[in-house]
Amino acid sequence: MAQKRITVAIDGHSSCGKSTMAKALAKRIGYAYIDTGAMYRAVTLYCLEKGMIDGDKVNKPRLRRHMPKIEISFKVNEEGKSDTWLNGKNVEQEIRGMEVSNKVSLVSAIGFVRRAMVEQQQAMGRNKGIVMDGRDIGTVVFPDAELKVFITASAQVRAERRYKELQGKGDTTTTFDEVLANVIERDRIDSTRKESPLRQADDALLLDNSNLTIDEQNEWLYNEFLKKVK
């Protein structure tokens, strides 16, 4: 008898390893993986390229007019990993830089942006068999998801992980203190925004992975998945 297909919703703070876990689980169980954070990063990159962000202010009327022109998709590359494409261009590298990281919380807090992205995300997951990670997947996008997980870790640990990731990509200009400040500020904006604030769903499992290895957290998530599909 075939296993039933479910929706896996993974939420949590920035740089806590949500995407790493979600990608690993999706690959292991043969589900589609959607990185919703990458979608908001792509919109942020578009805003930066079009000069729509000045300091901590986003030109909302202009962005609203441009939303129908923003097309985001995911394509598997030669290494078997999912890349983010914006209007026909691979932007996977650009959206992971600090310039986008410093502004993404401003853009993702805008109501009409979130509503547009949520609509796309719900369409992607309509047939289940999907692993999706973000900030509001279990609370807004898929409140009926069979498996909901909320991941967290200390700000210090998350900043260290993000700093090492940036260094691994050749970023030698960003300091650890800048990364830590970015993590703390994104937590503040994500948790206090009016539209879909970051919070743990009432029925979500909580995982603090501050002291877990990647293999340990992946096994934990896989075992929780097996409980839901039996």
* pLDDT of 65 above 70: yes
Strand 72-76 to strand 205-208: parallel, antiparallel, or no bridges (unpaired)?
A: unpaired
- pLDDT category, 202, cuts 50, 70, 90? very high
What is the percent of the chain where pLDDT is above 70?
Answer: 99
Q: What is the pLDDT of residue 185?
A: 93
Write the CB contacts of 43 (distance below 8 Å, at least 6 apart in sequence): 70, 72, 107, 108, 113, 117
Write the CB contacts of 141 (distance below 8 Å, at least 6 apart in sequence): 9, 36, 118, 121, 122, 125, 132, 134
- pLDDT category, 1, cuts 50, 70, 90? very low
- 88 in a structural domain: yes
Mean pLDDT over the full length of the chain: 93
Strand 82-86 to strand 72-76: parallel, antiparallel, or no bridges (unpaired)?
A: antiparallel
CATH number assigned to the domain comprising residue 120: 3.40.50.300
- The pTM of this model reads 0.83
Instruction: Round to whole Å and give the CA distance between 31 and 122.
Output: 15
- 1 in a structural domain: no
Strand arrangement, sheet containing 82-86: 72-76, 82-86, 89-90
- 132 in a structural domain: yes
Q: Tell me the pLDDT tens digit for each residue of 159-186.
A: 999 999 899 989 989 999 999 999 999 8
Structural domains counted in the chain: 1
- 2 in a structural domain: no
Q: Tell me the pLDDT tens digit for each residue of 99-113.
A: 999 999 999 999 999
Structural domain that includes position 170 = 7-229
- 158 in a structural domain: yes
- pLDDT category, 187, cuts 50, 70, 90? very high
Instruction: Round to whole Å and give the CA distance between 86 and 93.
Output: 12
- 155 in a structural domain: yes
- 53 in a structural domain: yes
